[in-house]
Amino acid sequence: MKEGLAGKIAKGFIGSKLTVLLMIVFMVIGVYSSFQIPREEEPQINVPMADIFVGYPGANPTEVESRVIKPLEKLISNIKGVEYVYSTSMKEQGMVIVQFYVGEDIERSFVKLYNEINKHMDEMPAGVTFPLVKTRSIDDVPMLGLTLWSENYDDYQLKQLAQELTDEIEKVGDVSATQKIGGRNRQLRVVLDKEKLAASGLDFLSVSEMIRVNNQQLVAGSFDKNDTEFLIETGKFLESAEDVENLVVGVQQNRPIYLRQIAKIQDGPEIPKNYVSLGFGQASEDAAQYNSEYPAVTISIAKRKGADAMKISDIILEKVEHLRTNLIPDDVHVEVTRNYGETASQKVSELLLHLLGAILAVTLVVMLAMGWRGGLVVFLSVPITFALTLLSYYILDYTLNRITLFALVFVTGIVVDDSIIIAENMHRHFKMKRLPFKQAAIYAINEVGNPTILATLTVIASVLPMAFVSGLMGPYMSPMPIGASIAMLLSLFVALTITPYLGVLFLREKEKKGKPVKEPKLLEDTFIYRMYAKFETPLIENKKKRWLFLGVTFLLLMGSVGMFFTNSVAVKMLPFDNKNEFQVVIDMPEGTTLERTAVVAKEISQFVAMQPQVVNYQSYVGTSAPITFNGLVRHYDLRGGSNMADIQVNLTDKKDRKDQSHDIAKAFRPGIQKIAAKFGANVKIVEVPPGPPVLSTIVAEIYGPDYKTQIEVADAVQQILINTDDVVDVDWMVEADQTEYQFVINKEKAMLYGVTPQQITQTMHMALSEHAVTQLYDEDASRQVQLIVSLDEKEKSTLQDISQIKIQSNQGNMVPVADLIEIKETIRDKSIYRKNQKRVVYVMADMAGALESPVYAILGMTDKLKQIPLPEGYSLEELYIK
């Protein structure tokens, strides 16, 4: 028989002593690579994304859209490589989200974006602030969360401690961004008394200006005397509350007016803008001892690209443990509320265990068919294949995550095929004993080698196209087809090099002295041949049976496809993963106070705390919880305001519970939604998705020529989704009506009184917005201390109180604001959303129930969509996009 490619390759390795050396080298570098490859929770996705923030003081959303957002969208859309441009036009500000195509070079993409924006800044309207560009990547997701809490310390003290702890954590290598969530900063507040202020002939602007001009220090220069240079520094910064109290802000009857005479000076924590707390669930050992919620501050820590999350987490936690001796007080607890390094390590270990189990199972099956010798050949060949695959991961800068390792588990059955085919045919020829062992081995490999090569390439051709899937799914899942293809190519290499050597070493059976030599069985006499012949011969010889068999096969195929349409089998893209966490996202109507939102979050937290699967939870009112991979795309880190809250729920480890995290979230939903309905809140339970993140499981995008009509149609779509089976957590991106009072200045009257409109607008802004006038220069403070001039909260709780604020006229008279304005009650303008330069209204929902695939919900609402009433001349067109 003429030697083919496979036979020639095998011939060079069968008798070579280098083969054993190569086996050892391959295993060593494979084990080395497995320790060197970084471990992380999710695969790296190379999708350049950026957020652009622009301010336009005084403008309404329509003006922001037409004058700022539209020009920005147009110039950004012209940048090569940009796939999507999303935007939001709000009161006095706008935001543009830019997403480039998958695989675009990150640095070049951002350079092009910066250059294009800077090049056209001269075309922006007067008053527009310079755009703030913030880039985004998967490494922005914190891999570690440390929550500081205490029974004896308040959030202000915890925030100061968190700042010191963060400074130490940032010294650890490969730590990129850190963030402190919760707690109050130090602030020096000058709380003016309206009556004393007016009696002294002063107003907000004059007092604020006196504070600002008294907080200056400057190197004036120098002078020379007697061949010596002397430096001169003029002025002195405000360094303490006492310095501020003793400021002279005016003169009345030739007597100085000190700031302490007309205001209270408060040096301490700022007014709460958010509430962060920690509580324990029934699954925690601390639940009995700590049965309340405690003020907390969370430190979230992200890693650099390509760094090992497991190693960094271990180093940080070890450092925090060491700092307990000299920095962290004994009565301050540090709870690890997120550790993706640990979960990544657990997932990798779990998948490696499954991989080993798969190898052992295959080895056992081979042993049953070929004996222990054949099993040993396969058992030694497969680990070498995986060792080389891990080396390829290391060379390609892949990380060990659930996708790359799943690729190995996925191809285990395919990878062993090559070695089994070669080993089995060698085993058969050895038993036939027609040729010497070495020649028989080469003949056997030559016989099945080329078909094995072709079969391997055919399987690769069927798997590899998955690497070219577009969108976020492409780079997310690409390690699987690429890793599987590499593993199959390497398995072919091992099958043609290592397996022949092992086959000659272990598969040839030595003849035992004194025993008669058994004649090898003919192929036709083997059990497998006789079994196949029994079933195949009738089909080959009988035409009716052949067509009957094909007909039954076709019917079974159609029956299996029909299960999708009859809902007998639910079809879903990816199954839910069993995580140890999920989030409860709370949205109250716009205009809800922080305290009211805190009440809702508190009641939901108490419900969560009573569940047996909950270890602990963190409540974030007025701010966002540390973002997950899902929250990165949904921009949950921008959630903030008095009407918003997040609850981070941490469950017991999955190995310690029977229920999947998705089933637990579904069980929690009815109780949480009951509480939400009582308060009129929109509450969503957000799980970490099994695949790449999306805006929501179901997203309806409503386009049209009139935004008001779009909102009306979106509302109708929202109601349809609410009434669709298995659809939950329905929401839309339209703000609730919020009352807004406009103080319309009577310019004529203002000028008669000697007051300018600018005085009125600046005074109201300063009195109501907690505006920082200047800073306190305290060298011991870890961060800048803002100096705020404001009114007491009681003196600005009604329109009557606010309108009675007095302004000093040019003549020195004190004029109430109420005499210069007309108050109009309106509804605040709603934000305008756009996608790819078109106005859009989003309606979002999730799936939970018997059928959890969005395709069923979409099919179920198609007929209902056609019944939505539209203005005359309008039609509704359904466009389903990826």
Q: Beta partners for 685? A: 584
Residue from 523, 442, 506 nearest 9 by CA? 442
Mean pLDDT, to the nearest integer, of 296-304?
Answer: 95
CATH number at residue 86: 3.30.70.1430
Task: Provide the H-helix boundaries in 723-827.
Answer: 747-753, 757-768, 799-803
Please check the confidence at residue 330 and state whether its pLDDT lies above 80.
yes
Which DSSP letter does residue 142 get? -
How many Cα atoms within 13 Å fall on the side-chain side of residue 49? 17
Do 879 and 817 belong together in one domain? no
Query: Per the structure, how many domains does the chain have?
Result: 5
Copy the structure tokens of residue 47.
Answer: 């999708």
Model confidence band, residue 551 (pLDDT cutoffs 50, 70, 90)? very high
Do 711 and 858 belong together in one domain? yes
Copy the structure tokens of residue 666.
Answer: 């579904």
* Domain limits for position 841: 700-717+830-882
CA angle 874/880/882 to nearest 5° reads 145
Q: 327 in helix, strand or coil?
A: coil
Do 426 and 564 belong together in one domain? no
Of 106-115, 337-346, 636-645, which gets the smallest average pLDDT? 337-346
Is 112 inside any structural domain?
yes
Is 560 inside any structural domain?
yes
* CB neighbourhood size of 715 (10 A): 16
Of 399-408, 696-705, 842-851, which gets the smallest average pLDDT? 399-408
Q: Please state, in angstroms and rounded to a whole number, the distance separating the CA atoms of residues 868 and 139.
A: 43
Do 834 and 857 belong together in one domain? yes
**Do the strands 186-192 and 785-791 form a parallel or antiparallel pair, or are they unpaired?**
parallel
Please check the confidence at residue 829 and state whether its pLDDT lies above 60.
yes
Which tens digit of pLDDT belongs to each residue from 16-70?
A: 888 889 999 999 998 898 888 888 877 878 888 999 999 999 899 999 999 999 9
Do 356 and 213 belong together in one domain? no
Mean pLDDT, to the nearest integer, of 805-818?
Answer: 90
Which tens digit of pLDDT belongs to each residue from 248-291?
A: 999 988 899 999 999 999 999 999 999 999 999 999 998 889 98
CATH number at residue 797: 3.30.2090.10
Do 797 and 858 belong together in one domain? no
pTM, two decimal places: 0.87
pLDDT at 593: 94
pLDDT at 516: 58
Q: CB of 337 within 8 A of CB of 650? A: yes
Q: CB of 302 within 8 A of CB of 178? A: yes
Is 197 inside any structural domain?
yes
Mean pLDDT, to the nearest integer, of 476-504?
Answer: 88
CA angle 333/338/339 to nearest 5° reads 110
Do 257 and 384 belong together in one domain? no
Phi, psi for residue 300 in degrees, rounded to 5: -100, 140
Do 768 and 843 belong together in one domain? no
Task: Find tokens 């969503």 and name the residue.
Answer: 684
Task: Find tokens 């056609």 and name the residue.
Answer: 866
pLDDT at 874: 64
| Secondary structure element (H or E) that encloses residue 638, with its range | none
Do 755 and 874 belong together in one domain? no
Average per-residue pLDDT for the chain: 88
CA distances from 367 to 220, 363, 372, 373, 375 (A): 91, 6, 5, 7, 4
Model confidence band, residue 654 (pLDDT cutoffs 50, 70, 90)? confident
Better-predicted residue by pLDDT, 681 or 531: 681
Q: Please state, in angstroms and rounded to a whole number, the distance separating the CA atoms of residues 806 and 797.
A: 16
Q: Which amino acid is at 159?
A: K
Residue from 620, 617, 622, 677 nearest 649 by CA? 617
- Listed residues 827, 842, 870: the one ending a domain: 827
Is 168 inside any structural domain?
no
Better-predicted residue by pLDDT, 523 or 727: 727
Which tens digit of pLDDT belongs to each residue from 431-476?
A: 777 777 788 888 888 888 888 888 889 989 988 888 888 777 888 8
Do 820 and 840 belong together in one domain? no
Angle between the 527-541 and 543-565 helix axes, to the nearest 10 degrees?
A: 90
Model confidence band, residue 521 (pLDDT cutoffs 50, 70, 90)? low
Of 70-84, 517-531, 548-562, which gets the smallest average pLDDT? 517-531
3-class SS string, 257-315: EEHHHHEEEEEEECCCCCEEEEEECCCCCCCCCCCCCEEEEEEEEEECCCCCHHHHHHH
> What DSSP string describes 566-609?
TTSS---SSPPP--SEEEEEEEPPTT--HHHHHHHHHHHHHHHH
Which tens digit of pLDDT belongs to each residue from 377-436?
A: 888 888 898 889 889 988 988 888 878 877 877 777 778 888 888 888 888 888 777 777
- Listed residues 139, 158, 174: the one ending a domain: 139
pLDDT at 150: 95
Q: CB of 750 within 8 A of CB of 820? A: yes
CA angle 599/145/50 to nearest 5° reads 90
pLDDT at 882: 47
Do 221 and 251 belong together in one domain? yes
Do 447 and 544 belong together in one domain? no
CATH number at residue 485: 1.20.1640.10
Please check the confidence at residue 510 and state whether its pLDDT lies above 70.
no
Q: 792 in helix, strand or coil?
A: coil
Mean pLDDT, to the nearest integer, of 188-208?
Answer: 91
- Listed residues 571, 594, 621: the one ending a domain: 571
